[in-house]
A and B are shown apart, each in its own frame.
Chain A
């Protein structure tokens, strides 16, 4: 035991970790989930990276046709499905590789946990007014970008197995780019030139694969590094207390990161992994039905819950408003630190901003719940629900080549 302690001390000394480990952290931020839900998102990201490495080695992208047995979790019995090489590859990983089932399920649940934690972290920081402290505005802007990238990353990953829901997610995602056509910005043209085609091809899937495993995670990693650095040197959000004396008292009550907060973080990481594995054991998610090139997505297929609210609004209200809704939400979030500058951080002093945060939660929560509860009124497919874009707009992505 003494040898282990000596080894630990040696590692800390040689890697110059003492200063980092002993930096003081405020006690009020340790147990309160409003302060550590962001940690859950970061840990989820690293779980996703580790499982993603293994999945990336095993996954083979491609559109060439093949057949697979039905998904055992959907309970459709014996028979064969026509599918793509991508789908067959994910089927092989999930059902024909030892422990591959756990690998994919952990990746999926960790992704859902990351999105949930990211959204909760966003609302928590909105309510706490974290952007009002020195350096907080920059961290807030980085956080908004991180949230946007997280949702993007989820949608990109959802597309890769090329099941019907994945193709629906691709179409929904690309509809967002079409919105710029309304504004006269040739973003569709740019996307088309990057993808090299106006329908789903091997090149399109390879591009999505590279974005999912390399480009977006690399950007997320750099932004997370910047955020951790900012929190390390700039401190965590101050407590939302109006009384100055009480606030100072809370700020001054500190303890060293190691062993106090370190023990809690270890416990939190283990607990998080435990919850993910319990979800895998109790509620495994099926692979869903495969898509065949050229096939339209049938009615009744729904997108995953992180984008369900958007899907609901696009189907329910005027597309010009609903399609641009995520852009408006992101752009408004970016300027919040510039608008909310007066007063302190307590809820009494900035109740209007807390109300706006609640409106954000309500917009997303209402759309998500409604999407699951009701049959959406308009029978519009993802390809036809928006009015024909202006003449200068390029054709958008469709499952089959667009005939002249």
Chain B
């Protein structure tokens, strides 16, 4: 008898919407603050990174839970696994994007300082 795999956690779509909301608001805030004060931009980036990191860890946990469940292997399970992994990739992408914004912002500030 095939065991049905049930994941007790947020659905991939819900996780994706939550992550996207945090990432978009965070990225816009960090980008805007880079023009005002790089220090504050870095603090906000750090907070956003911590929130995204918790979402990342949660999503990775769900992936491992799903794949280690007894009976995993049906097409439905695989599709669910792909959906969770796409969320993981998206969250990681957002984390790296915000870190990249801060690094490039630092370069821009160095350029400004150099011209003053």
Contacts from A to B (Cβ < 8 Å): 30, 69-70, 72-73, 77-78, 95-99, 101-102, 105-106, 255, 259-261, 263-264, 266-268, 270-271, 273-278, 280-282, 284
| Contact call B86/A96, Cβ cutoff below 8 A | no
For chain A, what secondary structure do more than half of its interface residues adopt (helix, strand, loop), or is it mixed? helix
Given contacts A72-B82, A263-B106, 10 further A-B contacts (CB under 8 A): A30-B107, A69-B78, A98-B67, A98-B68, A101-B82, A270-B100, A273-B96, A274-B96, A278-B97, A280-B93
Contact string, B9-29, partner A, CB cutoff 8 A, digits 1/0?
000000000000000000000
Instruction: Identify which of A77, A275, A281 gathers the most chain B CB atoms within 10 Å of its CB.
Output: A281
CA distance in complex: A282, B83 (Å): 10
Chain A minimum-CB-distance residue to B103: A267
CB distance from B98 to the nearest CB of A (A): 9
Contact string, B43-82, partner A, CB cutoff 8 A, digits 1/0?
0000000000000000010011011100001010011011
Contact among B66, B94, B110 for A259, CB-based, below 8 A: B110
Chain B minimum-CB-distance residue to A255: B114
Interface residue total, chain B, C-beta cutoff 8 A: 34
List the B side residues contacting A268 at CB < 8 Å. Answer: 100, 104
A-B pairs, 4 with minimum CB distance: A267-B103, A277-B93, A270-B100, A281-B90
| Contact call B75/A270, Cβ cutoff below 8 A | no
| Contact call A271/B97, Cβ cutoff below 8 A | yes
List the B side residues contacting A77 at CB < 8 Å. Answer: 75
| Contact call B100/A280, Cβ cutoff below 8 A | no
CB distance from A384 to the nearest CB of B (A): 38
For chain B, what secondary structure do more than half of its interface residues adopt (helix, strand, loop), or is it mixed? helix
Contacts from B to A (Cβ < 8 Å): 60, 63-64, 66-68, 73, 75, 78-79, 81-82, 85-90, 92-94, 96-97, 99-104, 106-107, 110-111, 114
CB distance from A165 to the nearest CB of B (A): 20
26 A-B contacts (beta carbon < 8 Å): A69-B75, A70-B75, A95-B82, A97-B67, A98-B63, A98-B64, A98-B67, A98-B81, A99-B60, A99-B63, A102-B88, A105-B89, A260-B114, A263-B103, A263-B106, A264-B103, A264-B104, A268-B100, A268-B104, A271-B104, A274-B100, A277-B96, A278-B93, A280-B86, A280-B93, A281-B90
| Contact call A72/B93, Cβ cutoff below 8 A | no
List the A side residues contacting B93 at CB < 8 Å. Answer: 273-278, 280-281
| Contact call A271/B96, Cβ cutoff below 8 A | yes
CA distance in complex: A306, B75 (Å): 31
CA distance in complex: A30, B111 (Å): 11
CA distance in complex: A261, B92 (Å): 24
Contact among B68, B88, B94, B101 for A99, CB-based, below 8 A: B88
